[in-house]
Amino acid sequence: MGQPDDPGRAFTDNPGASVGSGDVSAWPEPLGPAAVGDAELVERFADTVRREYLAVGFRVALHPQTDLATEPRWSRQSGTFGSSAEAASEPVAAYGAGCSQIIPYYGQPVGTDWEEVGFGFNRGVLTALLREPLGFTTSSAGTVPRGDRGVGIHRARPGAPDRRLRTAAAAREVRTGPLREPYVDPDRAEETVGASEFTALGEAAQRGALTVLTNHALLPPRGRPDLYVQGVGEQAAPAYGNVVGDPADAEVAILRLRTPHEQRPGVFECFFPEDEPKEILRRLDTVPILVCVNLERPAVLPEIADRAAVLMADFGASDNALLDVAFGRARPEGRLPFELPRSMAAVAASRPDVPNDTENPVFGYGHGLAL
């Protein structure tokens, strides 16, 4: 069987959905290239994924999602290319050109000629569309192209796979590998994974995808200001300013946050402690603060947007990437790939299958400032 890999190339560590990049080159989540709007960047990313994964024996990448980020509460939309079907179609095609591995299975067709069954189990979508005219081998876990080294097991309905299709898929696996080539070359793997070329591309993408939402004349700071940081590593900050331990002593403060979430049972949504918003707002009233929020889904941040000296969004970026942009050493190019709602009530009242449908969002789709 072809060994698959869950999303594991970026900075979002969401249990059950993705893990950190580890030794492979670190890139933004797919929302990052979507924010930049550069199809060539997506193709380079996909080619990097292909080369690094093949070097260590992975044959199926369970990312990105070709779904649209239309429901702000969905916990896996960081793997999409945003909320707009028109804008997402170009990076999806570019990713296919570079890697040809696409997951079709989170959505369900409604009000179309297709049967209203989830894409991963939908015969009309998987067979009549993806497999026959487009040449993909399909599976309930994703798709890989004909002749590539993944197994295709088609499930027309939830339940047991069709025996003939399962047998045919296994036969293709034997013919094309990896059973014929079960081992990887460890020297080649070490050369390829995290190669300087791939690392440099990923680092540039991290910086370019950063999105400036507000800037009240704080950026870029001059010289080496007294700098307070929270959520930023101790090793990164001293290269940019004189680090102080108390925000009251700082000329500039930088605060990194995860996307605030509604608390729910289980491990999928528990990143924002209950009392943290009050403490954040208190600090915003005492010192000029750059707040950078990792948007692995749209966030409700109206109070922070009103009070922060600068509000930025990242879709997976290192501390050095953020600080380079903040201090004018790199240029942010991001524009929001989805809107940021004003309230949870607005989210609840919106239509979950319609993009950018909340009333009076704090920031609309495509918003972003230049520095």
Q: Return the higher-pLDDT residue of 130 and 355.
A: 355
Q: What is the mean pLDDT of the chain?
A: 80
pLDDT band at residue 137 under the 50/70/90 scheme: low
User: What's the pLDDT score for residue 261?
Assistant: 61
Neighbours of 220 (CB within 10 A): 12
pLDDT band at residue 176 under the 50/70/90 scheme: very low
* pLDDT, tens digit (0-9, with 9 covering 90-100), for 55-80: 888 877 777 887 899 999 888 889 89
Q: ∠ at Cα 129 (127, 133), nearest 5°?
A: 95
pLDDT band at residue 100 under the 50/70/90 scheme: low
* pLDDT, tens digit (0-9, with 9 covering 90-100), for 252-289: 999 999 876 655 554 444 345 556 777 888 888 888 99
Residue spans per domain, the chain: 3-199, 210-349
Q: 308 is written with which tokens?
A: 């922060």
Terminal CA-CA length for the chain? 49
* Percent of the chain as helix, strand, coil, to the nearest 5: 35, 15, 55
User: What's the pLDDT score for residue 61?
Assistant: 75
Q: 219 is written with which tokens?
A: 């950026």
| pLDDT of residue 151 exceeding 50 | no
- DSSP classification of residue 239: G
- Report the percentage of the chain scoring pLDDT > 90: 47
Mean pLDDT of 144-155: 33
CATH homologous superfamily for 210-349?
A: Glycoside hydrolase family 3 C-terminal domain (3.40.50.1700)
Of 92-96, 165-169, 352-356, where does mean pLDDT reach its minimum?
A: 165-169
* pLDDT, tens digit (0-9, with 9 covering 90-100), for 216-236: 989 999 999 999 999 998 899
Q: ∠ at Cα 231 (79, 22), nearest 5°?
A: 50
258 touches 294 (CB < 8 A): yes
155 touches 149 (CB < 8 A): no
Q: Return the higher-pLDDT residue of 204 and 99.
A: 204
178 upstream amide cis, omega within 30 of 0: yes
Going by their DSSP bridges, the two strands 226-230 and 58-61 should be labelled as unpaired
* pLDDT, tens digit (0-9, with 9 covering 90-100), for 296-355: 889 989 999 999 999 999 999 999 999 999 999 999 999 999 999 999 899 999 999 899
- Report the percentage of the chain scoring pLDDT > 70: 74
Nearest to 61 by CA among 129, 8, 17: 8
Q: Which 3 state secondary structure label does DSSP give 263?
A: coil
Q: Return the higher-pLDDT residue of 24 and 211.
A: 211
Q: Which residues pair with 108 in a beta bridge?
A: none
| Rounded Cα distance, 104 and 130, in Å | 9
| Rounded Cα distance, 243 and 228, in Å | 6
pLDDT band at residue 1 under the 50/70/90 scheme: very low
